[in-house]
Amino acid sequence: MEPRFQNLWQGWHDDLIRFARYDVPKLVAILLLSFILVRFLSITTRKLVELGKRAAVHPSIRAQQISTVVGVIRSAGIFVIILLAVMQTLQVFNINIAPLLASAGIAGLAIGFGAQTLVKDIINGFFILAENQFEVGDTIKAAGVQGTVEQVTMRRTILRDADGTLHIVPNGSIHIVSNTTRDWSQATLLVAVDYSEDSDRVLRVLRETAQEIHNDPAFHEDMVAEPEVPGIERITGQEVDYLLLVKVRPGRQDRVARELRRRIKLCLEKNQIKAAPPAPVYIGQLPKSS
């Protein structure tokens, strides 16, 4: 064999021996550590989902939200682990990663400027899900619209209002959320009665009617507390408004309020209590200006 080929082969042999002795253990350590971190991240996120299901009031709905948040965390964590592993691997092969980092920084900056709204939606959606601000089935007011939540994702929230209109709200535009069905709801009724009626008698009749519906098995489970009749809310002309409050389970306020109005009407008629007269309307001609 010619001396130059022999020297070349000897150089390759020495490089291979050095690579096997020093670099291969580094590569094995990087791959093994990356695998362990990915597995640890997967197990941790799975445990978080299981804990969230056990602690949730509505396990099926809450599990969907927790799975969404945990999925984002897992994906981001795996991306970071793989990125660091690739960078360490390139350094093992003596590849300068400084130009790659600079290029990635410039590309990320350009993408960030071009997708500010998308990033804002995703970040806001993450905190909505993580903080459990509302769930599927809740009735909320957000971004100037009101409706029942049909779907929540990292980027958008879908609401359907009482008219059946579907509102698609980007999460980035949600600044204030008013949840009307969290824990309990309240039915608020104003009963208008004629000014001449005895107030104590009216209050007694309203309390009896409220207690009657509370004791009814068909509506008892819908209520979380006994109905309250605090008293007179306001007086306007010949009209006296009596306030009635009923705390009910989320979403049951309309059903209870309709039945309560029906029974109040029957009870007022039975006890011959006059309802407030309609407001007078005066029709006439304005005097001519001089």
235-259 confidence digits (pLDDT tens)? 988 899 999 999 999 888 889 999 9
- The pLDDT value recorded for residue 167 is 96
3-state secondary structure of 246: strand
Q: Dmax over Cα atoms in the chain, in whole Å?
A: 128
Query: Would you state the pLDDT for residue 252?
Result: 87
Position 107 scores a pLDDT of 65
**Domain ranges (residues) in the chain:** 3-114, 134-179, 185-270
Residue with tokens 């005066």: 282
| Whole-number pLDDT of residue 239 | 93
pLDDT of residue 110: 63
Q: How far apart are the first and last CA of the chain?
A: 128
Q: 132: phi > 0 → left, psi -120 to 50 → alpha, else beta; which? A: left
| Architecture of the domain made up of 134-179 | Roll (2.30)
CA distance 233 to 242: 5
Question: What are the respective helix, strand and coil percentages of the chain, to the nearest 5?
Answer: 55, 20, 25
* pLDDT for position 95: 77
The CATH fold of domain 3-114? Helix Hairpins (1.10.287)
pLDDT of residue 9: 62
Class of domain 185-270: alpha beta
Strands 145-152 and 185-194: unpaired
Answer yes or no: same fold for 3-114 and 185-270. no
Can you give the pLDDT at residue 140? 93
- What radius of gyration do the chain's Cα atoms show? 34
Q: Which helix (H) or strand (E) holds 148?
A: strand 145-152
Per-residue pLDDT of the chain (290 residues; tens, 9 = 90+): 556 666 666 666 666 777 677 778 888 889 999 999 999 988 888 887 777 666 555 555 566 667 667 777 787 788 889 988 888 888 877 777 777 667 667 666 666 666 788 888 888 988 888 788 888 888 999 999 999 998 888 889 999 998 999 999 999 999 999 998 888 888 999 999 999 999 999 999 999 999 999 999 999 999 999 999 999 999 988 899 999 999 999 888 889 999 999 999 999 999 999 988 876 666 666 566 65
Judge whether 243 and 233 are in contact, CB under 8 Å. yes
* Tens-place pLDDT, residues 137-148: 889 999 999 999
